[in-house]
Amino acid sequence: MLYLMKKRATVYLVAISVVLIVTTAAFVLSLLTTNPTGLGPAGVTFWFINALVMVSALLTILSFKFKSRNLNSKDNEVALFRSSLRFGSLLGFSIIGLLALSSLRSLSWRDILLFTLIVIVVEVFFRTRKKVA
C-alpha cells in the first residue's frame, strides 16, 4: 500500500512538472513575441491565466520538495502533495491577483490586507478541518 501511495505521488509530481514546463515555455514565448497592447482583453486574460498556472505549479513543486525532505517512510505522500497543491494554488492566486490589480492600477494597501486575510482564513480553515471518515 505504501508503495502505491509513493507511486501515485510521483505520477502527480511528474504531471505537474510537465504542466510547469509547458506553461513556462508559453510564458517565455508570449514575452518574446507579443505586447499587452496588441493582445487585447482576451489575450491579456489568457496571459494571466497562464501565469497563474505557472506560478501555482512552481510553488506546488517547491513546497512538495521542501516538505518531503522531512518525510518519514510511513507518512502519506499523496496527502503531502495535496497540501502542497493547496499551498501553491492559494499563493499563486494571491500573487497573480495582486499583479492583475496592479496592472489595472487599482491596487491599494487595503487590497493587499484583504488578500492576506483571505489567505490566512482559507489556510486556517483547511488546517483545522476534521476529516470525515
Return per-residue pLDDT of the chain as tens, 133 residues: 555 556 777 888 899 999 999 999 999 998 888 887 788 888 888 999 999 999 999 999 999 988 888 776 556 788 888 889 999 999 999 899 888 888 888 888 888 898 889 889 988 888 887 666 5
Taking the C-alpha atoms of residue 103 and residue 113, their distance in angstroms, rounded to an integer, is 18
Residue 7 lies in a domain: yes
CB burial of residue 60 (10 Å; 0-12, 13-18, 19+): buried
Domain containing 89: what range? 2-96
Residue 65 lies in a domain: yes
Residue 18 lies in a domain: yes
- Report the domain count for the chain: 1
Residue 131 lies in a domain: no
For the question of whether the overall pTM of this predicted structure is more than 0.75, the answer is yes
Residue 59 lies in a domain: yes
Residue 115 lies in a domain: no
Residue with the three cell numbers 491577483 = 97
